[in-house]
Structure 1
Amino acid sequence: MKSLFAVLAATLFAATTHAAEPADPARFASCLSELKGGAAGRGVSGPSYERLTASLAPDLKVLDFLDYQPEFRTPIWDYLSGLVDEERVADGKALHKQWAEVLAAASARYKVDPATVVAVWGVESNFGRNFGQRPLLTSLSTLSCYGRRQAYFRGEFYDALKIVDSGDVKAEQLVGSWAGAFGHTQFMPSTFLRLAVDFDGDGRRDLVGSIPDALASTANFLHKAGWREGETWGYEVQLPAGFDASLAGRRNKQAVASWSARGVKRIDGSPLPASEAPAGVLLPAGPRGPAFLVFRNFDAIYGYNAAESYALAIAHLSDRLKGGQPFVTPWPTDDLGLSRAERRELQTLLIARGHAIGTVDGMLGDASRAAIRVEQQRLGHTVDGRAGQKLLTALRKS
């Protein structure tokens, strides 16, 4: 599954890459014909396959996204600044309250913390405001016939067809990310078939039109990923001077008592609990940045989208929804990232300086980044198209 931030960042990346070569209609038609047998093997009837694929045409732009993973390319302070800001915390608290009854019922059934479910919802689709706009059958059929990883995407294509054929979600509603994730909490089609649940009792598993189905399905995912009821995902810690960073890593787990013996403390300086629970030390920005002791529940979140920065965003947002505070240790940079409100302010300032960047929406696309480079050149800053606090401060003054 891909988060909304990942989808948007990949979209911006694709805007700057070379244009995809024109598709050969005959090649695509031949590929679709070849795929018919595989779909039948997944339970999609011949007439349904013909009906659902008759009007498909390839979208080769999706090929540009295959090798772009913003969770690994974006500085962690930029990544989190756009995902866990005060705006999203406030929205999440309001929706947590609005859907409290559903969340409580899902938590009782699947034994997963409601705040974590809401955090997934916020990061994946901005609480249902941004599902993605690409028709899944178009994207997945294209990825099944062109580029690398065709075997993987063919499986997802067959499963997407099965979802539509079963009546759970209509074809026109099945829109989402370039890779095929869809709905409020962005399930891939194969994940949907394995783990989606009908929680509102209407006879359909609908992650697009039913918030109860989406929230409960997410709780079910985390439950099956190994979530442990009543346990924390982790917390920020204080490292001793000279800490051996080679010991760090989500998978390099030791007993909490062992970390305590090495001088690791809670962020307020108090000792770690005397526990034999296995935990790893996570250093997302290296030993000079915030450090975290992470447990099994962090791994469950990681299973949703295999990137530690993504899992940290979900974990941190869940804490903020429960009244937690921002991290204590500062990120090792002198130019922090921007919240979505600050990105909108930056766009407004760019427009005021005569740059035609389109709508002020907090999405820093190709036009915004081109304008940023012009202003960085003018100000004598590093010209990289990145939006940070230094640029925003300078434009405020000018």
Structure 2
Amino acid sequence: MPVRRTARTLISLALAAALAAPAGLIATPAQADAGFQRWVQSFKATAVKSGISGRTFDRAFRSVNAIDPEVLEKAAYQPEFTAPVWDYFDNRINDNSIMVGRQMARQWKPWLDRIEKAYGVDRNILLAIWSMESNYGEILKNDKVMRSVVRSLATLAYADKRRSKFGSQQLLAALKILESGDIDESHLSGSWAGAMGHTQFIPTSYLAYAVDADGNGKRDIWNSVPDALATAANLLRKNGWQSGQTWGYEVTLPAGRKFPGGSLSLAKWESLGVTRASGKSFPRGNQNAELKVLDGRAGPAFLMTKNFFVIKRYNNADKYALAVGLLADQIAGYGPLVQDWNRPFTRLTFEETQELQQRLTMNGYYDGKIDGKIGSGSREAIKAFQAKRGLNADGHPSKEVLTTLRSN
């Protein structure tokens, strides 16, 4: 039986295919202009057969005269740096993401009350998804990230041979969104791969799950936070979210013992010596769970219940689903992990990470955004500074590097 593919899974598969494409399969902008215009006209016939009016199509493509070369660059780019597990979580679960999440919980409480009641999905899970997907809507203000969904998907459909099917399917879905009147073409913006709005839905997922929560007649995940959060809740509910239950538990593993794969009851795990890291007992011994260890036996371990796998319907990656769960717990007021990740350095706070970036900028090593997130630019700047000072150039955003910068 085939596995259902989520929005992010489709994007990931398409990206993998693009990266595997032989040279010459992606058209250059110079080759694209005339051919692109011919393709647009031929695609119009396909769209009309799919129920899109000619008027809607013409409006959608009114300002789309050529492909977007930056979309092709992003589709073909494969980062050389493979982030260790702690790097992924540090950039997503930090003082700032927790603090803003709690602020948003207060600000949107009346709506979160309604959405939680209607869909049975924990509000803190929705807030964590909002943080993970768009930094609580902040990326929607970034013109370098947001671009025309119609142009992006048309570029993929026409110019990226390995991604043509994905681009065409999503473009037809985007045109159906325009046909519905939920958003107009000038505001139909998204990422290079067509992910849209506060909660980053690709067009086909939008058509399947979008909700008009605020009752204004439009399913507007770009401008309406209630619509966006309810849409995320609708996706989770329709994929089997179990109301009132957790995503999983941090656990402690007995030394030297091997464990079976697959799902066992929590009572069975407990009989094998697996206990909650908090010292509390499991509230539902008959509930099934699967063991996940993302950072080796010396790192934190988790027993994942049904809701963890429902979160993976949003993004089919263990790290993503775990980050959502852990961030949701901390927004809710629970403490951090009992067993931290295996970092080879002392972690900085969010404010200290910003200070690190500021000091690297002042010393001429970094020219990126002071955002408290360590990406490839920050790591390369740290490496350059470490090399200049005769330190081990590992690129880690450590307390030791910040201390050295302060004394510089």
Say which of 134, 137, 161 aligns to 1:128. 137
Say which of 200, 214, 229 aligns to 1:215. 229
Q: 1:299 to 1:387 in 2, by over 3 A?
A: same
Q: 1:107 to 1:369 in 2, by over 3 A?
A: same
Q: Distance in 1 between matches of 2:237 and 2:28?
A: 43
Aligned to 1:27: 35
Q: Distance in 2 between matches of 1:69 and 1:205?
A: 34
Calculate the TM-score normalised by the size of structure 2.
0.85
> What is the correspondence of 1:1-398 to structure 2 with a 5 Å cutoff?
1=7, 21-24=28-31, 25-56=33-64, 57-66=66-75, 73-131=82-140, 132-147=145-160, 148-244=162-258, 247=260, 252-273=262-283, 275-335=285-345, 340-355=350-365, 357=367, 359-362=369-372, 368-383=378-393, 385=395, 387-398=397-408
Identity %: 39
Deviation per CA, 1:250-293, whole angstroms, max 9, x where unpaired?
xx211112211211001034554562221101111122210011
Calculate the TM-score normalised by the size of structure 1.
0.87
Q: 1:78, 1:337 within 8 Å by CA — same for their partners in 2?
A: no
Q: Pick which of 109-118 and 369-378 moved more.
A: 369-378
User: Aligned residues, how many?
Assistant: 379
Cα drift, residue 359 of structure 1? 4.6
Cα drift, residue 383 of structure 1? 3.9
Query: Once superposed, what is the RMSD of the aligned Cα atoms?
Result: 2.7
- The gaps in structure 1 that reach 5 residues or longer are 7-18
Q: Distance in 2 between matches of 1:30 and 1:265?
A: 63
AA at the equivalent of 1:377: A
AA at the equivalent of 2:385: E
Q: Pick which of 327-336 and 185-194 moved more.
A: 327-336
AA at the equivalent of 1:334: P
Q: 2:129, 2:324 within 8 Å by CA — same for their partners in 1?
A: yes
Cα drift, residue 230 of structure 1? 0.9
Cα drift, residue 294 of structure 1? 0.6
Deviation per CA, 1:197-218, whole angstroms, max 9, x where unpaired?
1111111100011111111111
Q: 1:239, 1:265 within 8 Å by CA — same for their partners in 2?
A: yes
AA at the equivalent of 1:310: Y
AA at the equivalent of 2:383: R
- The gaps in structure 2 that reach 5 residues or longer are 1-6, 13-25
Q: Distance in 1 between matches of 2:330 and 2:130?
A: 14
Q: Distance in 1 between matches of 2:372 and 2:42?
A: 43
AA at the equivalent of 1:22: P
Deviation per CA, 1:128-187, whole angstroms, max 9, x where unpaired?
111242221121111111222221221111111221232111222222211111111111
Q: Pick which of 142-151 and 269-278 moved more.
A: 269-278
Q: Distance in 2 between matches of 1:67 and 1:108?
A: 43
Q: Distance in 2 between matches of 1:20 and 1:364?
A: 33
SS in 2 for 1:300: helix
